[in-house]
Structure 1
Amino acid sequence: MPILALVVIAVQPTGEVWTHLLGTVLPSSLVTTGLLMLGVGAITLIVGVGTAWLVTMCRFPGRALFDWALLIPLAVPTYIIAYTYVEILDYTGPVQGALRALFGFKTSRDYWFPEIRSLGGAIFVMGFVLYPYVYLTTRASFLLQSACALDVSRTLGAGPMRLFFVVALPLARPAIVVGLSLALMECLNDIGAVTFFGVNTMTFSVYDTWIHRSSLAGAAQLACGMLAIVFLLLWAERYARRKQRFHITTSRYLALPSYQLTGPRAGLAILACALPVLLGFVLPAALLVDYASRRLDELFDPALMAAVGNSLVLSITAALLTVAIGILLTYAQRIQHNPATQLFGRVASIGYAIPGTVLAVGILIPLAAFDNFIDGFSRSVFGVGTGLLMLGSGAALIYAYMVRFLAVAHGQIEGGFGKVTPHLDMAARTLGRNSVRTLFEVHLPLIRPILLTAVLLAFVDCMKELPATILLRPFNFETLATTVYNAASREAFAEGAVPALVIVLVGLAPAVLLAWSSAQSFRGRKSARG
């Protein structure tokens, strides 16, 4: 429905607005968006693939720590990282302050320092926050590669570098493309960081055209352009994997690193793995803790408590409903394996690829029409107005969260159901259980850990979502994400340090869970080989 509504809105006349957009806004925002995605893609590829290879294939001090620590930057939303780095690297920040104190500089004209509020700054920040998407998928692919293929390559004289580029990297290409696509879609979705850095991407242009130029049709037309970019990414991801299907034909897995690094090589490996964690999590988290420790009196501020309550209610409700629908879709695909159920599952999972601003534009008009219809009907029949039931109550936000993050829950649940053998369904039917009782008495108890993981991931994604929240929230309705955004917009990020730290702490849960799953996978393969 949001996509169809977006197309309907986009064909409405825009007057002179589209002429202005086409002549000034669209060309520059397209170029900027392209450069941003190119830069972020390069950083995520180099950092994600490089660190995944190091922790999988090499032995060096601290490797076990970096195995899970490299996932931690996923806990921090890009907009919070952006705000912290402006505080750290701006003229009044500690880095430039230390330079002036050390060398005796008096003003900014006495020395050169890169401008963090720039396209380069946005690429740097997003690259070191989003690389775990590539690291996670590539690491899993390296773990699954057959030891025989690598052993044969060594037998044929391949050294570590040639083994990486000629054998391991091509085998991991499908996983790399998946991780890169996820990172680039998150990059395209961002509005907080790019707005703060003054980078006019397509996402910012949609927001600016809707809010500041009051042209919903113009915003919808720009949003359709963004949607085309997203579908192009999805097509590229599928196309890149069209002939990249590999099957493991041996029970031998590569479970242990193969190259012992010592001396300078070990030091370089430690540095290569430590820098992404330091830049993507440790420095921003340290600043947040410092700022928040000075404002502990705000913990019980009524406005903050209201924002916490709003975030929890919205996120918990959306996460539970999303997982429930994910169970329904997945189970329908299991018991009715036909083209209709497969199509519904695929269509319902597209939402994750739709940026929050695009989703908000597509949701606003249908729900506004629904609200107006119910209000008019209630006035004519009962003489009482209902107001904006969906847009005014936060239900629109819950709907947007469900549309956007259903793919997260659906993917987890689908994987869980895939591990339950169909023989259990047959046995339950033999014992007189129908499909509903089989679901509740057999399947759900067996996949309970998967369900908890799905709820947790959906909950945290809802807590961090900013673009859709800004555009669809009711008046005078704040969440933790909008509280942080408002403080940063006023150049008073310190005021938003406490809610920002709360978001980071909540986000640590799925990051730790993913790290634990990775460690369990490694131990399982180690014992399997032993």
Structure 2
Amino acid sequence: MKATAEVQNLFRAIPFGAINRIPWWLSAAVVAVGLLVLMPVAALTGIAAQGDAEIWPHLIRNVLPSSIVDTLALLAGIAVVAGSMGITSAWLVTAHRFPGRNILVWLLPLPLAVPTYITAYIYVEIFDSAGLVQMAMRDVMGWTSRSDYWFPEIRSLYGCILVMSAVLYPYVYIAARAMFLTQSASMLEVARVLGAGRFKLFTVIALPLARPALAVGLSLALLEALNDIGASEYLGVRTLTVAVYNTWLNRGSLPGAAQIACVMLAFVVALILIERYGRKDRRYATSAKRSRVVHPAPLFGGRAWIAAMLCSVPVFLGFILPCAFLIREILRGSLFEQFDAEFLEHLLTTLGLSITATLAVLAVATLLVSAARIAKSPLTRSTLFIAGLGYAIPGTVLALGLMTPLVTIDGLIGTIWRYLTGERLGLLLMGTATAIIIAYVLRFLSIATGSLSAGLDRVSPSLEDAARTLGSSRKDMVWRIQIPLMRPALASAALLIFVDCIKELPATLLLRPLNTETLATQVYTYASRGRFEDGSLAALVIVLIGLVPVIQLVRSAETRLRRPERPDSPSSSPSL
């Protein structure tokens, strides 16, 4: 009792103003979450500082220059290609009508369900010198060797930019389409009256107004590219992520890997600052009344078919081509026979880890957001900000930073257990599925906190004030008011987190227990052995599992963005 009272007094003594309006145990939980997110970064810094004095000069001379150049070139290329794909397709399907538009609206976000590493493996199988395309060209043209003709090399920086852009452009597309759909028709009407053409409407009005959302979407795509290890390694691009992995596992230098990881964190901070700068002092508000949206204008003749082609190419490259290849390989190799007890075990492991991590993320996010709603204090605001850093930390860096803390905690628990029982206790965290779940929670917590915060911000504080007036406790207010009102946001966040957990490779690859495989690591193992086609069934199952949540998200987003206007609003809106 005395110890409990001392802990209560400790947290009540923290000078965080409004924190005293929430229970001491909730304050402790908020602090624990913030420390948990910062723990890998602190451990990573400590590991890097323990390195030999000769490691850093060696890295500067032989590893970092090429890795930094490749990383910068890759990110710049993806920014241009993925940004162009996402913005162009979003504007065309929002502002115009053309053949196939209604189907493309649903197809354009689907590459989100296809991991970058699977797309990379497929493109090598199709476009490499021994792939389907070049073999067909040699058969048709009578060429006898690769030296008889020129063909773009898929295992290159340019190939990696194309592959990743084809998968990551939906981040930009979704953000851009949401902004284009919610822009008021009045501004565009004024521009048309002043003589602006369609292209000028896009470049001068629509695109600048969408700039804050585009900065967010593009930064998410670049962070995903920085997190990737499977695609860049397989395509021969030695990014910083690949350098961390090789230095740690292939060269056996944990401090060297930690030092490279610290350089990666500098890239992450730079991307976050760029995203913040993209939204700096740019807040565009419309009337409180629901604005009229612009109805898409029809395109005719060649323009219509060009628009259809521009929107179809990203879908073909990022979704149709990978899925068609996987189905072909499965049918060709009779790979359905692989669906045995071992494959079912890998599938259940994948689903179990993903579901457990999703539930854990939602529980922690609900705790943080509810605490921030009850007490808008510096502590809760700071913890929400810190929680958002997890998604910005690449999976490789996160796994590396978790090693030392988890081993330390295991050692502490083992010492206490041996003192109490006299028996040795095995590892509880490191080298078990728990380590993977912790990594998932830290990495994807920001998705849930962002979604729940946005959903709860739409709830009027007067509802909670009325509940408090009627005598509801904080616990009742959370369970009976906040959580029911957050259900749509909880559902959206759960779908996104589940898809990301299914696809996550770097953290799973480095923290998985021995003899434990998920579908992602199984595909990676086949590809590393040069037998990716044997992993086609596992790859297709990953895509199909991720496809259902993505379709549901698209459906809910389209319904929300296209709510019917109020009866008193005009029945029609002008076309561009």
2:411 equivalent to 1:357: no
Correspondence for 1:299 among 339, 347, 352: 339
**Corresponding residue number in structure 2 for 1:84:** 122
Aligned to 1:477: 516
Q: Cα gap change, 1:121/1:525 in structure 2, threshold over 3 Å: closer, same or farther?
A: farther
Pair 1:244-2:251 in alignment:
no
Separation of aligned partners in 2, 1:110 and 1:155: 58
SS at match of 2:562: helix
Using the alignment, how far apart are the partners of 1:336 and 1:79 within structure 2?
Answer: 43
1:225-264 matched pairs, under 5 angstroms: 225-249=263-287, 251=289, 253-264=291-302
Q: Write out per-residue CA displacement over residues 267-308 of structure 1, whole angstroms, 9 at most, x where no aligned residue.
A: 0000000000000000001111122232101112x3322211
- Structure 1 residue 258: deviation in Å? 4.1
The aligned counterpart of 2:359 is: 320
**Contact (CA 8 Å) 2:184, 2:293: kept in 1 or not?**
no
Candidates 142, 155, 175, aligned match of 1:137: 175
State the alpha-carbon separation in 2 of the partners of residues 85 and 104 from structure 1.
Answer: 24
SS of aligned partner of 1:524 = coil
| Secondary structure at the counterpart of residue 112 of structure 1 | coil
Which residue of structure 2 lines up, in the alignment, with residue 383 of structure 1? 422
Question: Which residue of 2 is the match for residue 332 of structure 1?
Answer: 371
Aligned to 1:3: 41
Give CA deviations for 1:87-138 in whole Å, capped at 9, x if unaligned: 1112232211211121111221222111111111100000111011111111
- Percent of paired sites with the same residue: 49
How do residues 183-202 of structure 1 correspond to structure 2 at under 5 angstroms? 183-202=221-240
Cα distance between partner residues in 1 of 2:365 and 2:119: 31
2:159 is aligned, of 88, 99, 121, to: 121
What is the identity, as a one-letter code, of the residue corresponding to 2:170? Answer: P
Give matches, 1:115-514, under 5 Å: 115-249=153-287, 251=289, 253-293=291-331, 294-300=334-340, 302-514=341-553
- Residue 391 and residue 529 in structure 1: after superposition, are their counterparts in 2 closer, same or farther (change >3 A)? farther
Q: Residue 250 of structure 1: CA displacement?
A: 6.4
Contact 1:48 1:133 (C-alpha < 8 Å) held by counterparts: yes
Q: Is the 8 A contact 1:72 1:511 kept in 2?
A: yes
Which residue is 2:93 aligned to? Answer: 55
Answer whether contact 1:55 1:257 (CA < 8 A) is retained.
Answer: no
Q: Distance in 1 between matches of 2:483 and 2:213?
A: 29
Shift of 1:53: 0.8
**Alpha-carbon shift at residue 525 of structure 1 (Å):** 5.1
1:45 partner letter: G
2:339 is paired with a residue whose SS is: helix
Q: 2:155–2:234: 8 Å Cα contact kept in structure 1?
A: yes
Give the AA of the match of 1:395: T
How many Å apart are 1:67 and its aligned residue?
1.5
Give distance in 2, aligned partners of 1:224 and 1:500.
32
Is residue 210–residue 218 contact of structure 1 (8 Å, CA) maintained in 2? Answer: yes
* Residue number among 500, 511, 523 corresponding to 2:562 in the alignment: 523
| Cα deviation, residue 393, structure 1 | 2.1
Tell me how far apart the structure 1 counterparts of residues 233 and 424 of structure 2 sit (CA, whole Å).
38
Equivalenced residues, count? 529
Of 483-492 and 250-259, the range deviating more from structure 2:
250-259
Q: Which amino acid aligns with 1:33?
A: T
Q: What stretches of structure 2 of length at least 5 have no aligned partner?
A: 1-38, 572-576
Q: 8 Å contact 1:69–1:515 — kept in the other structure? A: no
CA distance in 2, matches of 1:98, 1:177: 42
Q: Retained in 1: the 8 A contact 2:247–2:256?
A: yes
* Stretches of structure 1 lacking an aligned partner (at least 5 in a row): none
Contact 2:108 2:314 in 1 (8 A): yes
Distance 2:428 2:138 in 1: 56
The equivalent residue for 2:4 is none
Q: Alignment partner for residue 57 of structure 2, among 19, 22, 25?
A: 19
| 1:123-177 superposed Cα distances (whole Å, 9 cap, x missing partner) | 0000111011111111111112121111111111000011111111111111111
Paired letter, 1:393:
T
Q: Name the SS for the 1:214 alignment partner.
A: coil
C-alpha distance in 2, partners of 1:257/1:513? 24
